[in-house]
């Protein structure tokens, strides 16, 4: 360090006349210099691609060469009467609403226990709870495929123990809506505990003590104090599951069969190699994006409103 | 009196917690058991112990090539995402400008886009640009996905450290790059390493976007997905699954412990 300091003094002494350019160089990086690259990356590889999908959805761009021009026909047919794609969307929404609700209901007591029971090892237990989420998604789906199949762990265990004859396996276990919802719930459960834990953890315990001093029972304190205060975490948790699962296609294609076919699978198929229809596919993709964007905006508003109220 | 939980409630919740943990880890444990089972199909009763499947996957050229491709994509895209994330995080915490809210929203918006939609959109973009699908198109997609994570990890850390440290460096004549390298970077290093780990594991495991952008060189998830649909080599796949799964668990836990210690050390008075 001594040598470095020596160097610095010598430099400072000899570079007296060069102060002006040095000052210039000392100017801080400008905002465009910092944000230019990240923002343009997302403009080119995030916004522009979505614009191209929009162009395909109204036939301004087309897959097969030929005469074409702006038309809303694909959009109109999506919203006309009994479009099968809308039915499929409703089915996916229903499945992912159920999954999100169940998962949040299971995760809430876990987060409550970790945050409020006063256990000293809460962060380690939280890590144990969340760790499976940080491992490979496909491998966790694989595990369930091995477990649920006709020849799988559950059925072969039932045959082996004689609880069921090998001619009649429990075949609803795999390739069904049930399988899709079970696996989605399994995959997202660990993650959902996190936002709930964070809101409960920051909750002022003094409020609960105050409620208790005012003769509130634990249940009353929970319903009137804890639950309302943890609502933002609950809603966040719900959306954190709902948003990715409603457009899910990996799990349904691996364990869903025809019964578990979801909206996302339809989009993949429309862009697939069989009978590609990029126009309809683009409409479906943008519709999904729009629904999720609206949900996200409403949620952000809700959080803002909560902050204003708290302040 | 404990105001949050009665003693019985606490006991009940502890049991519930243990049950959920069992539910979460049992499938992983089952994979582990069957990876050592000598039968070629994973059924009960267990037929005997073998390490053959581990040996097989180590010598399986396809699996190794796929793991290698994923590792290359994950390293390059995480470096890219972390670099963009550092720039963006500094810009968002140390500067005030018009349109800041919009810039923040744009930079974080890939968090909520369905990956399926992003994959389709990028595939159409590259189609319009006439770009062949390759490991580079996958890298581009993975940088888009992981930039928001890196910003979310690095930005709070920048908020904790005193902005005047950087200004002191300027006053002492350091240029912006020197200030970054000698002052800012060492202070945010734990967060940068975490961001890198998160970006790396996300990219390494990413299937949805990669499935639309992958070229002739398969990534590991793309290989795995195909192997799951047509399970001819199931035990080998289970064996490699177990290795990757345990490997990622160990890395994640170690990285988190390291980050806590490093941040505690930086916080401690000298």
Lowest pLDDT segment from A263-267, B161-165, B205-209: B161-165
Let me know if residue A135 belongs to a domain: yes
Residue A182's domain is classified under what CATH number? 1.10.3720.10
How many residues belong to chain B? 270
Confidence category of residue A29, pLDDT binned at 50, 70, 90:
low
Given CB atoms, is A118 within the 8 Å cutoff of chain B?
Answer: yes
Q: Is the pLDDT of residue A250 over 60?
A: yes
CB count in 10 Å sphere of residue B269:
3
C-alpha A23/C-alpha B191 separation (Å) is: 31
Q: Is the pLDDT of residue B106 over 90?
A: yes
Q: Is the pLDDT of residue A11 over 70?
A: no
Task: Please give the model's pTM, rounded to 2 decimal places.
Answer: 0.86
Q: From chain B, pick out residues whose CB is under 8 angstroms from the CB of A56.
A: 124
Q: Give the mean pLDDT of chain A.
A: 84
**Structure confidence by residue, pLDDT tens digits, B138-173:** 999 999 999 999 999 999 988 888 878 878 888 888
Q: Is the pLDDT of residue A165 over 50?
A: yes
C-alpha A112/C-alpha A177 separation (Å) is: 30
- Mean pLDDT of the region A177-188: 95
Confidence category of residue A286, pLDDT binned at 50, 70, 90:
very high
C-alpha B197/C-alpha B150 separation (Å) is: 10
Task: Tell me if A285 and B116 make a contact (CB, 8 A cut-off).
Answer: yes
Q: From chain A, pick out residues whose CB is under 8 angstroms from the CB of B256.
A: 127
Task: Tell me if B16 and A113 make a contact (CB, 8 A cut-off).
Answer: yes
Let me know if residue A186 belongs to a domain: yes
Let me know if residue A12 belongs to a domain: no
Q: Name the percent of chain B lying above pLDDT 90.
A: 45
Let me know if residue A298 belongs to a domain: yes
Let me know if residue A145 belongs to a domain: yes
Let me know if residue A226 belongs to a domain: yes
Query: Is the complex ipTM higher than 0.90?
Result: no
Q: Is A1 helix (H, G, I), strand (E, B) or coil?
A: coil
Q: From chain B, pick out residues whose CB is under 8 angstroms from the CB of A278.
A: 124
How many domains are there within chain A? 1
Q: Name the percent of chain B lying above pLDDT 70.
A: 97
Integer angstrom CA distances of residue A99 from A88, A258, B19? 17, 19, 19
Q: Is the pLDDT of residue A4 over 80?
A: no
Range of the structural domain that residue A151 is part of? 82-310
**Structure confidence by residue, pLDDT tens digits, A216-240:** 888 888 888 888 888 888 998 999 9
Let me know if residue A209 belongs to a domain: yes
Let me know if residue A30 belongs to a domain: no
Given CB atoms, is A22 within the 8 Å cutoff of chain B?
Answer: yes
Task: Tell me the angle at which helices B220-229 and B61-94 cross, rounded to the nearest 10 degrees.
Answer: 130
Given CB atoms, is A53 within the 8 Å cutoff of chain B?
Answer: yes
**Structure confidence by residue, pLDDT tens digits, A191-216:** 999 999 989 988 888 888 888 888 88
A positions 171-200 inside 8 Å of B (CB): 186, 189-190
A positions 215-274 inside 8 Å of B (CB): 218, 221, 226, 243-244, 246-250, 253-254, 264, 267-268, 271
The 3-class secondary structure across chain B, one letter per residue, is: CCCCCCHHHHHHHHHHHHHHHHHHHHHHHHHHHHHCECCCCCCCCCCCECCHHHHHHHHCHHHHHHHHHHHHHHHHHHHHHHHHHHHHHHHHHHCCCCCHHHHHHHHHHHHCCCHHHHHHHHHHHHHHHCCCCCHHHHHHHHHHHHHHHHHHHHHHHHHHCCHHHHHHHHHCCCCHHHHHHHHHHHHHHHHHHHHHHHHHHHHHHCCHHHHHHCCCCCCHHHHHHHHHHCCCCHHHHHHHHHHHHHHHHHHHHHHHHHHHHHHHHHHCCC
């Amino acid at each position: 360090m001594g040598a470095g300091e020596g160097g610095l003094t010598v430099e400072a002494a000899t570079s007296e006349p060069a102060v002006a350019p040095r000052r210039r160089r000392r100017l801080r990086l400008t905002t465009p210099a910092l944000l230019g690259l990240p923002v343009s990356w997302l403009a080119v590889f995030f916004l522009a691609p979505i614009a191209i999908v929009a162009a395909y959805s109204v036939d301004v761009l087309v897959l097969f060469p030929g005469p074409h021009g702006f038309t809303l026909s694909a959009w109109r047919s999506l919203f006309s009467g009994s479009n099968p794609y809308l039915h499929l969307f409703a089915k996916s929404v229903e499945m992912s609403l159920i999954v999100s609700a169940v998962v949040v209901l299971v995760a809430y007591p876990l987060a409550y226990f970790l945050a409020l029971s006063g256990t000293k090892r809460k962060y380690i237990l939280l890590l144990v709870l969340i760790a499976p989420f940080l491992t490979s998604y496909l491998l966790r789906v694989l595990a369930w495929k091995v477990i649920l199949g006709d020849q799988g762990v559950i059925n072969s265990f039932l045959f082996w123990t004689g609880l069921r004859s090998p001619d009649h396996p429990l075949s609803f276990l795999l390739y069904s809506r049930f399988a899709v919802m079970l696996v989605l719930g399994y995959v997202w459960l660990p993650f959902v505990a996190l936002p709930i834990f964070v809101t409960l953890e920051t909750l002022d315990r003094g409020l609960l003590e105050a409620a208790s001093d005012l003769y509130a029972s634990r249940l009353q304190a929970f319903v009137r104090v804890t639950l309302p205060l943890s609502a933002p975490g609950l809603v966040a948790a719900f959306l954190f599951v709902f948003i990715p699962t409603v457009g899910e296609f990996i799990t349904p294609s691996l364990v869903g069969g025809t019964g578990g076919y979801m909206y996302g699978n339809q989009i993949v198929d429309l862009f697939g190699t069989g009978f590609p229809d990029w126009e309809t596919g683009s409409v479906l993709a943008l519709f999904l994006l729009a629904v999720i964007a609206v949900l996200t905006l409403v949620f952000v508003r809700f959080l803002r409103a909560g902050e204003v109220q708290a302040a | 009196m404990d105001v949050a939980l009665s003693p019985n409630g606490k006991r009940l919740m502890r049991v519930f917690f243990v049950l959920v943990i069992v539910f979460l880890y049992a499938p992983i444990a089952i994979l582990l058991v069957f990876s050592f089972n000598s039968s070629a199909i994973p059924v009960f009763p267990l037929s005997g112990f073998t390490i053959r499947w581990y040996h097989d996957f180590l010598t399986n050229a396809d699996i190794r090539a796929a793991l290698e491709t994923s590792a290359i994509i994950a390293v390059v895209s995480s470096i890219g995402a972390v670099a963009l994330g550092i720039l963006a995080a500094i810009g968002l915490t140390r500067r005030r400008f018009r349109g800041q809210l919009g810039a923040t929203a744009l930079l974080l918006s890939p968090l909520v886009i369905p990956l399926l939609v992003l994959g389709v959109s990028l595939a159409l973009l590259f189609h319009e640009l006439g770009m062949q699908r390759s490991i580079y198109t996958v890298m581009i997609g993975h940088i888009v996905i992981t930039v928001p994570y890196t910003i979310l990890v690095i930005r709070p850390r920048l908020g904790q450290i005193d902005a005047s440290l950087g200004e002191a460096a300027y006053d002492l004549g350091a240029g912006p790059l020197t200030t970054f390298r000698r002052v800012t970077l060492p202070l945010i290093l734990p967060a940068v390493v975490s961001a890198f780990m998160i970006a790396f594991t996300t990219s390494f495991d990413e299937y949805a976007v990669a499935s639309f952008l992958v070229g002739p060189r398969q990534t590991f998830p793309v290989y795995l997905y195909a192997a799951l649909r047509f399970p001819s080599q199931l035990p080998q796949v289970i064996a490699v699954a177990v290795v990757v799964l345990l490997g990622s668990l160990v890395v994640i836990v170690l990285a988190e412990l390291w980050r806590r210690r490093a941040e505690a050390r930086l916080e401690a008075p000298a």
